[in-house]
Amino acid sequence: MIKVGIVGGTGYTGVELLRLLAQHPEVELRAITSRGEAGTAVADVFPNLRGRVSLKFTDPAKSSLPDCDVVFFATPSGIAMQQAPALIEAGVRVIDLAADFRIRDVALWEKWYGMPHASPALVAEAVYGLPEVNRDKIRGAHLVANPGCYPTAVQLGLLPLLEAGCVDTAHLIADAKSGVSGAGRKTETQLLFAEASDNFKAYGVAGHRHLPEIRQELSMHAGQDVGLTFVPHLTPLVRGMHATLYARVTREVDFQALFEQRYADEPFVDVLPPGSHPETRSVRAANTCRIAVHRPQGGDTLVILSVIDNLVKGAAGQAVQNMNLMFGCDECAGLSQIPVSP
């Protein structure tokens, strides 16, 4: 059994990790920390876990994290970079669901996240945890930087095109829509039901923190710097993310076949038949990304539709998939739930 610890389990990625790990056949949950809720039973905060998770939140200072095989950080950005080094030193493998180790260029990270980086040396060691790209590196990683939700949906939708070099990489457009849980369990006015319900808006058009992460990875896939316009939107969904991606064709190939072949062996990427429109609920509560490839009116602009559950393939599910790879489990272990629909 893999001994697992979680730092910061009171947010949505935390409770989702718990839901998935408590059903994982090879995991033993050992510790979950929260400064604010230390001593409280996890199931008192998250009643869906009653009878399934018997742990209490523990104070980070008194926790048994160093005895774990792997520790997940489900914390705001800026925490893992402080605590991960000691754990890694102690032989614990770390999966960070926040952004601390996603950006290779430390100065760039510091600019977007507004703080000095506490362990720049570890950034170089970290493996970016998108299994569809880095499966082998993840297997051997001590530190995995779990991708953001927008970066996951956008990359999986553009990857085959960039690898094949068949679109204009200077003018990519990602129009992305996220459910409200993607913003976390923060008590901000704009996240209130009475503000976010029956309402739709873009946000962060001038620059969203996921932009440099997406750009970095897309540039790597393309083999050159890409130009990307990224517009995120807040949608009245609890869970779900839909990326609508626009790319101009520069070289003709069979685009449907390109996607099908690229993802033929991927257990969590499903390329839909031509003409499809994936719905976010078709992946609700599951680790699947579904993709459809369109070329409207036979023009020169491709439209790729990519949907994930932001809390699963966009966060906790992908983290468990990475853990499976790191510990030699079946990659799908604990991740085989069928999406919940309706």
Restricted to residues 175-214, the positions that interact with its own copies (CB under 8 A) are: 175, 177, 179-181, 185, 187-189, 191-203, 205-207
Q: Give the separation between CA 4 and CA 320, rounded to whole angstroms.
A: 11
Looking up tokens 């996921």 gives: 210
How many angstroms separate the most distant Cα atoms in the chain? 62
Q: Which range in 70-78, 101-109, 150-158, 273-281 contacts its own copies by CB under 8 A?
A: 273-281
Least distance in Å: CB of 332 to its own copies? Answer: 11
In terms of C-beta density within 10 A (0-12 exposed, 13-18 middle, 19 or more buried), how is residue 246 classed? Answer: middle
Compute and round to an integer the Cα radius of gyration of the chain. 19
Least distance in Å: CB of 13 to its own copies? Answer: 11
Crossing angle, helix 131-139 and helix 317-326, to 10 degrees? 40
Size of the site for its own copies (CB under 8 A): 85
- Residue of 50, 59, 115, 225 interacting with its own copies (CB under 8 A): 50
- Are the C-beta atoms of 168 and 223 separated by less than 8 Å? no
Q: Give the separation between CA 73 and CA 84, rounded to whole angstroms.
A: 9
Q: Does 338 bind its own copies (CB under 8 A)?
A: yes
Least distance in Å: CB of 98 to its own copies? Answer: 18
Interface of this chain with its own copies, residues 66 to 125, rule: CB under 8 A: none
- Are the C-beta atoms of 170 and 227 separated by less than 8 Å? yes
Q: Which amino acid is at 251?
A: R
Interface of this chain with its own copies, residues 144 to 163, rule: CB under 8 A: none
Q: Residue 125 or 330: which CB sits closer to its own copies?
A: 330
Q: Give the separation between CA 33 and CA 60, rounded to whole angstroms.
A: 5
Q: Residue 144 or 305: which CB sits closer to its own copies?
A: 305
- Indicate if 149 belongs to the active site: yes
Least distance in Å: CB of 291 to its own copies? Answer: 12
Contacts 24+ apart (CB under 8 A), 182-187: 182/149, 182/241, 182/310, 182/311, 182/314, 183/234, 184/11, 184/12, 184/13, 184/76, 185/10, 185/11, 185/12
Q: Does 62 bind its own copies (CB under 8 A)?
A: no
Interface of this chain with its own copies, residues 226 to 245, rule: CB under 8 A: 227, 229-231, 233, 235-240, 242, 244
CA torsion angle 20 23 24 29 (round to 10): 80
Q: Which range in 19-27, 129-137, 139-147, 255-263 contacts its own copies by CB under 8 A?
A: 19-27
Q: Which amino acid is at 286?
A: A
Q: Does 48 bind its own copies (CB under 8 A)?
A: yes
> Interface mask (CB under 8 A) for its own copies, residues 301-330, using x and -?
x-x-x-x-----------------------
Q: Residue 62 or 201: which CB sits closer to its own copies?
A: 201
Q: Does 47 bind its own copies (CB under 8 A)?
A: yes
Q: Does 221 bind its own copies (CB under 8 A)?
A: no
Least distance in Å: CB of 39 to its own copies? Answer: 16
Q: Residue 102 or 290: which CB sits closer to its own copies?
A: 290
DSSP output for 83-102:
HHHHHHHTT-EEEE-SSTTT
The number of CA neighbours under 13 Å toward the Cβ of 180 is 21
- Residue of 117, 262, 284, 313 interacting with its own copies (CB under 8 A): 284
Marked catalytic residue, from 149, 166, 289, 329: 149
Least distance in Å: CB of 224 to its own copies? Answer: 16
Q: Residue 110 or 175: which CB sits closer to its own copies?
A: 175
Name the residues annotated as catalytic: 149
